[in-house]
Structure 1
């Protein structure tokens, strides 16, 4: 039995850590609702005197927010769809397949985890340019069609499933794709949802790749748009910080919503992701 003192101490520590982690988000929300005059106060206020909801409308009009949002959604949906489906099929091959060099190939997949995006940027950029894909959705989506981490996580989940389940399905006449998508994928749903969330967050927050692969506002995404807003008011950030925070809040809102609804699946998936 844990003592009441220990329980109380752990609760207090958890509350303090939660408040510390939540404070930046709280400050972003408060700043987004302030007037420029309040931002210039020598002693910052922890709550605005007047809630300036129109700051969000102003931020929306400062940059082509609607166009950037459409581009971001298309990029994110495309990457998530490809990463999940390619990850499921590759993970199934590495977990349940039997072919020469399977384990060595999987080591190469793991090696890809340590290669930063900037290292492979130049050859991929040249490839996209030769294909005529610069400033298109292809350049935003195709280079991120597969996720090494997603393949690893799904492989660990598929390896934990008994082979008897697969053999029983085959006896009933199920094809490989039916076994994969109708039996194994539902059993691995916590891991699949976790990968969807991780892929969604990474794609939605992507900045470097969309910046170098696009050269017009018709193809820019939200992260690049917020950076453009910051650069457009260079030297006057203190006067327009409320607009930057308003735009940033609009950008991160979908991520927060997705994470809140999917956190239980993330915990379940991480508990089953030990290396086997």
Structure 2
């Protein structure tokens, strides 16, 4: 009887494992299908895009769609603007987060934990709530249609401060005391000691900031109205809106533009994914 029970349990475990695998495959297919459709649409011709019955593989690979994207919009200009905005945001936000996280993790001052909780409270405030006062501020500074308006408002991130604080708290204070005895100042300790030791978290934050900046649409849309300052997300949306009612003629070009826009994100995330996993494993609240 015991053997029958064990055999039944083994069958149940096998059945549950099979169901989990099937469920995982279904979820993966559902999530990946839009990306697949984006990729194959980028290579279809206009005539194939207008077919009543959609095809699930391009009949002819229309590589000219990618060149057409550079013709219909100043794609290179938008790409450069997006890259400059993303890099500038990374540099500013990481430096602000490093200094704030150092203060919250290793500093000793009254109200430190209360202030940190207030910083975390900023995580629940959506960007759309504060954009009006920030827009007015950018306007008074005469920063609209400049990279200052695209970068400076994102100079501080509560999430980046939280992750770096967790990484700094895991570092023994004896290491810092030894550095102080050797005559190291606060900035030397931060950038020459803590920075290398928290490298997985810093790389992770750099990747997440890059992805967020690269995909940003709302902020660049309201902060710029000059074509020379547009970024990729806004430029592709303007291309879509400019052909409203005739999408079938240029939908393949829109898809090709979108494919080129996501390539940097895929490359950066693929190269840095091991650092992201290591940082997330060390981000528990302490």
Shift of 1:12: 5.0
Shift of 1:189: 1.2
Q: Which deviates further from its counterpart, 122-131 or 99-108?
A: 99-108
Pair 1:126-2:123 in alignment: no
Q: Which residue of 2 aligns with 1:106?
A: 116
Q: Which residue of 1 aligns with 2:5?
A: none
Q: Give the distance between the partners of 1:176 and 1:28, measured in 2 at CA.
A: 49
Q: Which residue of 2 aligns with 1:181?
A: 191
Q: Give the distance between the partners of 1:146 and 1:78, measured in 2 at CA.
A: 12
What SS does structure 1 have at the residue aligned with 2:184? coil
What does residue range 5-84 of structure 1 map to in structure 2 within 5 Å?
A: 5=14, 11=21, 13-84=23-94
Give CA-to-partner distance per residue, 1:105-131, whole Å, 9 cap, x none: 111111111111111111111111111
Q: Give the distance between the partners of 2:21 and 2:183, measured in 1 at CA.
A: 54
The match for 1:197 among 207, 213, 222 is 207
Shift of 1:239: 2.4
Pair 1:208-2:214 in alignment: no
Q: Give the distance between the partners of 2:237 and 2:36, measured in 1 at CA.
A: 21
Give CA-to-partner distance per residue, 1:3-60, whole Å, 9 cap, x none: 7936666555544443333222121110000011111222211111110010010012
Q: Give the distance between the partners of 2:17 and 2:276, measured in 1 at CA.
A: 26
Q: Give the distance between the partners of 2:77 and 2:47, measured in 1 at CA.
A: 31
Q: Give the distance between the partners of 1:11 and 1:152, measured in 2 at CA.
A: 35
Gaps of 5+ in 2: 1-9
Q: Which residue of 2 aligns with 1:87?
A: 97
Higher Cα Rg, which structure: 2
Pair 1:148-2:158 in alignment: yes
What SS does structure 1 have at the residue aligned with 2:285? coil
Q: Which residue of 1 aligns with 2:106?
A: 96
Q: Give the distance between the partners of 1:271 and 1:15, measured in 2 at CA.
A: 26
Gaps of 5+ in 1: none
Would the alpha carbon gap of residues 146 and 250 (structure 1) be closer, same or farther in structure 2, given more than 3 Å must change? same
Q: TM-score, length-normalised on structure 2?
A: 0.91
Shift of 1:174: 2.0
Q: Give the distance between the partners of 2:157 and 2:129, measured in 1 at CA.
A: 16
Q: How many residue pairs end up in the alignment? A: 275
Pair 1:264-2:274 in alignment: yes
Q: Give the distance between the partners of 1:117 and 1:13, measured in 2 at CA.
A: 35
Q: TM-score, length-normalised on structure 1?
A: 0.94
The match for 1:222 among 225, 232, 242 is 232
Q: Give the distance between the partners of 1:9 and 1:180, measured in 2 at CA.
A: 50
Shift of 1:220: 0.7
